[in-house]
Structure 1
Amino acid sequence: MLGVVNRTLLALTGLVLLAAGACLLTGFRPLGGRHAPLLTAEARSRYGHPEGWWWALLAALALCVLLALWWLLAQLRRPRLAALPVDTGDGAYALLRGHALESAVAAEAGALDGVSGCRVALRGRRGSPTLRVALELEPHAVPADALAGLAGPVLTHARTSAGLPELPAEARLKVTAHHAQRVT
């Protein structure tokens, strides 16, 4: 969802800048000069009560500031899960670092037959983590075999090492491009 918000804000900013540039290129200048007021007295009287619409303008500007702060905080939020609590069996908990689990799953999945590379991201919340796995397959690899190897032993090891009853995973498969060999 954050990507959609970022693209929308970028598009709106681009449209505003495009409109401002078009106004400047065509010679349209809403201001009367360097020392002229932004709105003349007759323009202010045209909008009804001279002081009433300023409150609506201030409320709109305050809403824009709040939305900008929300967007900034959403950018700073970490998308990956930093650690998982693992029950040690004696009533205490140990923390399993998310990066360690990601590295272990990536190493085990990268060792599967036909897999040339693997990237793993641990997402979600501590109570319900999920894995996002991106497998890069070699040209001769069978995608069903690679997916079965990932869903079988790799995710089973990750689930048992983290002490989780279930660990949902999303796998994305990509076949590496290869060039035809030249025969001479």
Structure 2
Amino acid sequence: MSRRTVNRTILALVGLGLLLGAALVLLGGLDAYGRLGVTPPHWWPLTSPDQPVLSAASRAKWSARSWWWPVAIALPALVVLGCLWWLFAQLRRGGPAGVDLPSPAAPGEPHFALHVRSRAVEEAIEAETVALPDVDRVTVRVTGAARRPEVRAVLRLAPGADTAALVTAYRDGPVEHARRSLGLPALPAQLRLRMSRPRKERAARAKSRGPRVR
């Protein structure tokens, strides 16, 4: 799940909760139930303008429970920590949503902006890289700024792979093709190589863990 999807989901849930809470307060404050002749359940909050959020009986009832104060302290603390985590995740620098391409307009002609999604660039490089020999898995990320993008790739290689030949194939293949397609001949590219465990070792590790219980 992408960061954009997570952000939209969190904002939608928070907005929905605030909207429902505001609607309950508004209906109770305007005495809408009494004017409409509606009798809400006894546990319904804010049924009249003079009713507090928690009645004196409710406050006395819950505060007498041994678990009330730990929950009353831990729950807001978790909410605050979750909000701080979300805020720091947004402030953390990530890759651009897209890459700005140089305009092919001739001198004297009006320029127009060209833009391509970063995910499209990543998928194109990944599809071409995973087809190279001895590549088990590849992850590509576009970082930097929209006008100065960088490509960072992590390749997981099969045991016994020829790393020198693979680096050359990656540089002359996916990276060079991306530079030509984007019109960015100086596109920086970083590559990190990781070796996969042999199949026998992976099978032995999986066997040592025992069968999974579902």
- TM-score higher than 0.5: yes
Which one of the candidate residues 82, 87, 108 is aligned to 2:102?
A: 87
Report the counterpart of residue 171 of structure 1 in structure 2: 191
Inter-CA distance 105–92: structure 2 relative to 1 (3 Å threshold): same
Report the counterpart of residue 165 of structure 2 in structure 1: 145
Q: C-alpha distance in 2, partners of 1:107/1:129?
A: 19
1:179 deviates by: 3.6
Give 1:82's aligned amino acid: A
Q: Percent identity?
A: 30
Q: C-alpha distance in 2, partners of 1:132/1:165?
A: 16
Report the counterpart of residue 39 of structure 2 in structure 1: none
TM-score normalised to the size of structure 1?
A: 0.55
More relative contact order, 1 or 2 (CA 8 Å, 6+ apart): 1
| Cα deviation digits, residues 48-82 of structure 1 (max 9, x gap) | xxxxxxxxxxxxxxxxxxxxx99865421451221
Which sections of structure 1, spanning at least 5 residues, go unmatched?
Answer: 1-68
1:172 deviates by: 0.8
Report the counterpart of residue 89 of structure 2 in structure 1: 75
1:115 deviates by: 0.7
Report the counterpart of residue 126 of structure 1 in structure 2: 146
Q: C-alpha distance in 2, partners of 1:180/1:71?
A: 41
Where 1:96 maps in the other structure, the secondary structure is strand
Q: C-alpha distance in 2, partners of 1:167/1:70?
A: 35
Q: C-alpha distance in 2, partners of 1:159/1:70?
A: 39
Give 1:93's aligned amino acid: A
Which sections of structure 2, spanning at least 5 residues, go unmatched?
Answer: 1-82, 106-110, 202-214
TM-score normalised to the size of structure 2?
A: 0.48
Give 1:140's aligned amino acid: G
Report the number of matched residues: 114
Give 2:124's aligned amino acid: A
What RMSD, in angstroms, separates the aligned Cα atoms of the two structures? 2.5
Q: C-alpha distance in 2, partners of 1:70/1:159?
A: 39
Q: C-alpha distance in 1, partners of 2:192/2:199?
A: 23
Q: C-alpha distance in 2, partners of 1:176/1:76?
A: 33
1:141 deviates by: 1.4
Moved over 4 A (4+): 69-74
Give 1:99's aligned amino acid: R
Q: C-alpha distance in 2, partners of 1:141/1:116?
A: 10
1:165 deviates by: 2.8
Q: C-alpha distance in 2, partners of 1:115/1:175?
A: 9
Q: C-alpha distance in 2, partners of 1:89/1:168?
A: 21
